[in-house]
């Protein structure tokens, strides 16, 4: 029997399943991240453009609800992503004596941290929306919570920088020590065949479109440009559709 006709060993099949689970968890985490930022930014843009207090109040409540739901959803999806990624890397080391390169993680983690910072900054403006809606009691009640969240966020940011720097150094040291993959012919991660197809290019284009739409919404929220309300709805739709289609 030819080597190419032999069934791959069970360990390689397990690693392929673990990698597929990691990719699914990553998609879910990125969808939650981009959708949360896009929705929160859009709602706050509409609240800023409301002409009356009666119009501002429901948008302020919706902004608070989105922010309250977004934080645990982002945390849970990213925890699942990290847990599955660690499990896959651990199994890779057991089978192949080396895990795939961690250079992408060194860039992905700061990017995700920046998205967290943006989400928190958007959340910190929620009391101002209630103040604009003349709901002063709610705004005053939210202010100490926002201040406490700001302190916790700063502490978490410092801890993240220390952890990320340590992990990056360890990843670099492992990459220098190892001579690369042992080249197991059944290693489903060997080569870059999966990244050469039309599906990968389409997915990358969709994620790029979602990122551009989210950045445009954030620029409008920062008053770097003043798009029409219809354009705001259009950007939000593009961001949402691109992430959903990519997830499928």
Non-local CB neighbours of 154 within 8 Å, separated by 6+ positions: none
Please answer whether residues 215 and 34 qualify as being in contact, where contact means their C-beta atoms are separated by less than 8 angstroms. Answer: no
pLDDT above 90 as % of the chain: 51
**Residue range 118-170, pLDDT digits in tens:** 999 999 999 999 999 989 999 999 999 999 998 998 999 899 888 888 887 87
190 or 19, greater pLDDT: 19
Give 15's pLDDT tier (boundaries 50, 70, 90): confident
Q: What is the pLDDT of residue 202?
A: 82
- In the block, tokens 């150094």 appear at 169
Q: What is the pLDDT of residue 189?
A: 55
Q: 114, 115, 107: which is closest to 172 by C-alpha?
A: 107
**Stretch among 57-71, 134-148, 177-191 having the lowest mean pLDDT:** 177-191
**Residue range 80-129, pLDDT digits in tens:** 999 999 898 888 877 776 666 556 677 788 899 999 999 999 999 999 99
Non-local CB neighbours of 135 within 8 Å, separated by 6+ positions: 57, 60
Give 191's pLDDT tier (boundaries 50, 70, 90): very low
Please answer whether residues 39 and 236 qualify as being in contact, where contact means their C-beta atoms are separated by less than 8 angstroms. Answer: yes
- In the block, tokens 């926002």 appear at 146
């Amino acid at each position: 029997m030819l080597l190419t006709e032999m069934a791959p060993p069970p360990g390689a099949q397990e690693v392929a399943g673990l990698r597929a689970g990691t990719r699914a968890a990553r998609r879910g985490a990125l969808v939650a991240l981009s959708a949360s930022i896009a929705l929160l930014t859009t709602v706050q843009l509409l609240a800023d453009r409301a002409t009356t207090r009666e119009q501002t109040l429901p948008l302020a409540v919706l902004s608070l609800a989105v922010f309250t739901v977004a934080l645990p959803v982002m945390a849970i999806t990213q925890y699942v992503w990290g847990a599955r990624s660690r499990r896959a890397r651990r199994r890779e080391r057991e089978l192949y004596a080396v895990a795939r390169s961690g250079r992408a993680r060194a860039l992905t983690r700061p990017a995700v941290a920046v998205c967290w910072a943006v989400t928190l900054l958007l959340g910190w403006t929620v009391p101002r929306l209630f103040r604009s809606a003349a709901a002063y009691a709610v705004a005053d009640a939210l202010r100490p919570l926002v201040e406490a969240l700001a302190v916790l966020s700063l502490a978490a940011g410092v801890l993240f920088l220390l952890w990320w720097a340590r992990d990056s150094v360890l990843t670099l040291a492992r990459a220098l020590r190892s001579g690369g993959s042992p080249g197991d012919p059944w290693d489903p991660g060997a080569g870059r065949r999966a990244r050469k197809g039309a599906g990968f290019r389409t997915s990358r284009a969709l994620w790029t479109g979602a990122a551009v739409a989210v950045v445009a919404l954030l620029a409008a929220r920062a008053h770097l440009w003043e798009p029409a309300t219809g354009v705001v709805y259009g950007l939000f739709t593009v961001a949402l559709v691109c992430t959903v289609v990519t997830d499928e």
